[in-house]
Each structure stands twice: as C-alpha cells, then as structure tokens.
Amino acid sequence: MLQETGSRFPTPPGRAGMSFWNECGTFWRESRRHFRNTGALLPSSRFLARALASPLAATRPPYRILEVGPGTGSVTREILRLLQPGDRLDCVELNEHFVQRLKLCLRHDPRFIPYQGQVHVIHSPVEDLPGEALYDHIISGLPLNNFPVGLVREIFKAYSRLLKPGGVLSYFEYVLIRQIKTPFAGRRERRRLYRVGRLVGKYIRAYQVRRQQVLMNVPPAIVRHLHLNASHYPVVSEIAAPARPRARRKPR
C-alpha cells in the first residue's frame, strides 16, 4: 500500500494497492494545507465517481478524455474501469503531491498498471493547457465554489476551448453549498458566492443535458452533464466582468 514517508511523498504500493484509509489520510492532509484548491475533506465516493464517468459507459468510438483535478485518483479508477481500447486519458493536476501519487499508482498499483499506455499525468492548471477541440469528454473535480469568479470564468473558457463540438463536460457541486455558506460569510464572501452562482447558473441553463443527485457521498453532491461548444460561448458572455488581470491559481 502507499505509505507516507518523512518526505511527504508516498512509497510504492504493494500487491494489495492503495488502501482506502491511507487515501483518505493523504487527501485530508492536502485539504488542510490547500483547502481552496482541494475543496473537500474526503475523496469522492465510488457513487460520485460512477456518476461523473457515466457518459463513458455508452457504446462509443475511442475517446480522448480529460480529468481535471484527479486528486488521489478516486474518480480516475472509475474512469479506468470504463476505458476502452483506443481511449486516451489525460489527468491534469495542480497539486504536486497528488501528481507524484498518481504517477506511482501507474507504476505500482494493479488497478492502474494495465492502463499505463493510455494515461498521461500533467502537472499544470487546466487554464494553461494548449490546443482547441481536443477532448470528447471532460470530467472536472475542481471546487468551483471555492474560487474567485474571474478564475471560474477562465476555467469554463478553458473547458469550452478544449472540448470537441458535441462533447460532454461532467462536473459536480455539493448540495446547497452556497446557500449553507452564505449566512455565515462576510459581505465580500457573500458577493463572491453570488457571482460564482450566477456565472455557473448561466452555463447550467444554457448547456445542461442531465443531472444526477448523489446522496452516497460526504457531503451529498449533484453531478451535472453539459454539452459545451466554444462557438456558443457568447451565451454566457453577458456577465463578463470589465477587463482586468487574469485570475490564476498558485502552483504549490
């Protein structure tokens, strides 16, 4: 199993693979250190992972798939279970510790090893990925409700640019998280939450094709599946803020 060492990086797992509790411990430590970019205290449950990856279960041609914010790999494992010959999975992660863990899993975890030739781990913000219309399916684990509205806007622009016409974006948010946080937040935070909710709501109304409620997760979550197309981006541009320096997440 993966075990933490004094250097903070995991040692290679044994034949049994990484244990659930060890994964939770790693996730908990990273969430305490970088909560804004992690956004949760526990990894996604297998029920949430299945909902996020459900579009991959259909009969389909080979896909190029992008997972954004894979963390410890709880959703990645479900994606791998549905991977078909000819599919390619790119995992883009900002947290260096999670990047190293995923790379070790690809070398040593029996659940990852068979897919080594199909998976590429990228240490980068998704906003910095180059190219256009590259992916058939994007699965996002980013905690959008934790980010400044300018950064959320940049992330959705990146999704629109990277997704092929007719492709699917699948992401989740925790149930009623903005409504729960707002009464306890200061004025500036309430305004940020309102603006994030307004921006995300525009995308939901314009592009959502399916939603799934996942109660078996801590906390419960809603998975949303959207058909994005870069040529449709003006639908949400009406709430764009005046020009200002681009919001960025800090690498760690």
246 within domain boundaries: no
pLDDT at 40: 53
Average pLDDT of the residues of the chain: 82
**pLDDT band per the 50, 70, 90 thresholds, residue 251:** low
pLDDT band at 89 (very low <50, low <70, confident <90, very high): very high
- Dump pLDDT digits (tens) for 71-88: 999 999 999 999 999 999
Q: List, for residues 149-176, the tens digit of each pLDDT value.
A: 999 999 999 999 999 999 999 999 998 7
Q: How many domains would you assign to the chain?
A: 1
248 is a domain residue? no
Q: What is the pLDDT of residues 4-24, one digit of tens each?
A: 333 344 444 444 444 554 544
Place of tokens 């244990």: 19
65 lies in some domain = yes
- Identify the weakest region by mean pLDDT among 112-116, 132-136, 181-185: 181-185
Instruction: Decide: helix, strand or coil at residue 133.
Output: coil
pLDDT number for residue 133 = 96
Q: Closest by alpha carbon to 43, among 66, 65, 69? A: 69
∠ CA 20-96-78, nearest 5°, is 40
- Which domain covers residue 200, as residue numbers? 20-239
Confidence of residue 180 (pLDDT cuts 50, 70, 90): confident
Is 13 domain-assigned? Answer: no
Tokens of 115: 């897919």
pLDDT, one tens digit per residue, over 221-233 is 999 999 987 444 4
The pLDDT value recorded for residue 182 is 74
Interatomic CA distance for residues 78 and 71, integer angstroms: 13
Q: Distance (Å, rounded) from C-alpha 174 to C-alpha 143?
A: 9
DSSP string over 79-116? HHHH--TT-EEEEEES-HHHHHHHHHHHHH-TTTGGGG
Q: Is 227 within a domain?
A: yes
Task: Determine, yes or no, domain membership for 6.
Answer: no
Say if 161 falls within a structural domain: yes
Cβ neighbours around 186 below 10 Å, total: 8
238/144: higher pLDDT: 144
In the beta sheet, which residues pair with residue 49?
none
Residue 124 per-residue DSSP state: S
Count of CB atoms situated within 10 Å of the CB of 86: 10
Residue 94 lies in a domain: yes
Sorting pLDDT into bands at 50, 70 and 90, what band is 177? confident
How large is the average pLDDT for residues 34-59? 78
Is the separation of the CB atoms in 143 and 38 below 8 Å? Answer: yes
Amino acid 37: pLDDT: 41
Predicted pLDDT at 48: 96
Cis ω for the linkage preceding 219 (within 30 of 0): yes
Give me the phi and psi of 81, to 5 degrees please: -60, -30
Work out the number of other CB atoms within 10 angstroms of the CB of residue 238. Answer: 7
Bridge partners of 210, per DSSP, are 225
- E strands, the chain, are 64-68, 88-93, 119-123, 135-140, 163-174, 208-214, 221-227
What is the domain-level CATH number for residue 211? Answer: 3.40.50.150
What proportion of the chain, given as a percentage, has pLDDT over 70? Answer: 74
Looking at residue 142, its pLDDT comes to 95
